[in-house]
């Protein structure tokens, strides 16, 4: 009689351990998908933002730039959040620093 009651007391504990393991295994694909998403999409995007921020901070007077709107110009004045760029002879526009997409090599514009 003692043996059967001892088995009865340990049965729910064993079942609870099995439930815990199955719930962890069901969450494994979700965690795996997040890890893959991080390395495929989030991390490269963060790296790209970091490079863009460094490029914008390194802008100097005389740099030839391309804006998000497709304008090509030469930086004439630098401000805290804005820059002035000459896009044609005597035509100067003021742009946000974040609108600069690319810094061209010297001598590209003629």
Structural domain boundaries of the chain?
1-58, 60-104
Which CATH number describes the domain made up of 60-104?
A: 2.30.30
- Residue 6: pLDDT over 60: no
Predicted model pTM: 0.67
- The pLDDT tens digits of the residues spanning 23-72 come to 888 889 999 999 999 999 999 999 999 999 999 999 999 999 999 999 99
For the chain, the first-to-last Cα distance in angstroms comes to 100
The two three-digit tokens of residue 110, written as one number: 């003629």
The pairing of beta strand 72-78 with beta strand 64-67? antiparallel
Question: Using CA of residue 57, residue 96, residue 62, residue 68, what is the dihedral sign?
Answer: positive
- Residue 12: pLDDT over 80: no
Q: Of all residues in the chain, what percent carry a pLDDT higher than 90? A: 69
Mean pLDDT within 68-94: 95
Region of residue 95 (phi > 0: left; psi between -120 and 50: alpha; otherwise: beta): beta
Provide the strand spans (E) within the chain. 64-67, 72-78, 82-88, 91-96, 100-104
């Amino acid at each position: 009689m003692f043996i059967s009651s001892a088995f009865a007391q340990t049965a729910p504990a064993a079942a609870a351990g099995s439930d815990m393991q199955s719930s962890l295994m069901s969450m494994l694909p979700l965690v795996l998908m997040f890890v893959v998403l991080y390395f495929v999409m989030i991390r490269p995007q963060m790296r790209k933002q970091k490079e863009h921020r460094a490029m914008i901070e390194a802008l100097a007077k005389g740099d030839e730039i391309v804006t998000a709107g497709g304008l090509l110009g030469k930086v004439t004045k630098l401000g805290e959040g804005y820059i002035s760029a000459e896009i044609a002879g005597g035509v100067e526009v003021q742009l946000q620093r974040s609108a600069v997409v690319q810094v061209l090599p010297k001598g590209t514009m003629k």
